[in-house]
């Protein structure tokens, strides 16, 4: 793989140090090729998973909602009852959407941050810039 052949085929002007440096360079390039091959495989696997990932616009039933949220059904039902989780009745089904759930999660996180700041005497939200001084 080296650019300069070793042994009797080596050009007369090349030194042992130059050949050694070229061998080290070849080894480094081979290691880089191995790492890139591994990274390419990981990127291909990830892109395949992402292209097959389908986010529906409407989640129907507790099973789909809990699968999307990665929570147990009892947890989601408790969130609906006590925390205002955005799940609506549609006939005999419970319906929600990923956009509504994501918005609710952001709002809950903001409320938690505001409550924590209020407990520590820092009653400012993320929307308000910190005081200068």
For the chain, which ranges sit under pLDDT 70? Answer: 1-14, 48-56, 122-133
**Per-residue pLDDT, 11:** 57
Question: Does residue 83 contact residue 97 with C-beta atoms inside 8 Å?
Answer: no
**Per-residue pLDDT, 130:** 61
Q: Give the DSSP H/E element, type plus range, for residue 90.
A: strand 88-90
What's the pTM value of the predicted model, to 2 decimals?
0.49
Cα Rg of the chain, angstroms = 30
**Per-residue pLDDT, 74:** 92
Q: How far apart are CA 77 and CA 73, in angstroms?
A: 6
Mean pLDDT of the chain: 79
**Per-residue pLDDT, 86:** 94
Tokens in use for 45?
């696997």
pLDDT tens by residue, 37-52: 777 777 777 776 666 5
Q: Return the DSSP state at 132.
A: P
């Amino acid at each position: 793989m080296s650019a300069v052949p070793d042994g009797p085929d080596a050009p007369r002007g090349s030194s042992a140090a130059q050949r050694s440096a070229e061998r080290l360079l070849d080894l480094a390039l081979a290691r880089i090729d191995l790492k890139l091959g591994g990274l390419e495989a990981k990127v291909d696997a990830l892109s395949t998973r992402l292209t097959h990932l389908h986010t529906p616009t409407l989640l129907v039933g507790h099973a789909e909602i809990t699968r999307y949220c990665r929570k147990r059904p009892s947890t989601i039902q408790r969130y609906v009852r006590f925390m205002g989780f955005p799940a609506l009745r549609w006939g005999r089904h419970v319906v929600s959407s990923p956009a509504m759930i994501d918005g609710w999660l952001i709002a809950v996180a903001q409320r938690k941050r505001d409550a924590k700041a209020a407990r520590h005497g820092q009653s400012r939200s993320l929307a308000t810039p910190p005081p200068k001084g």
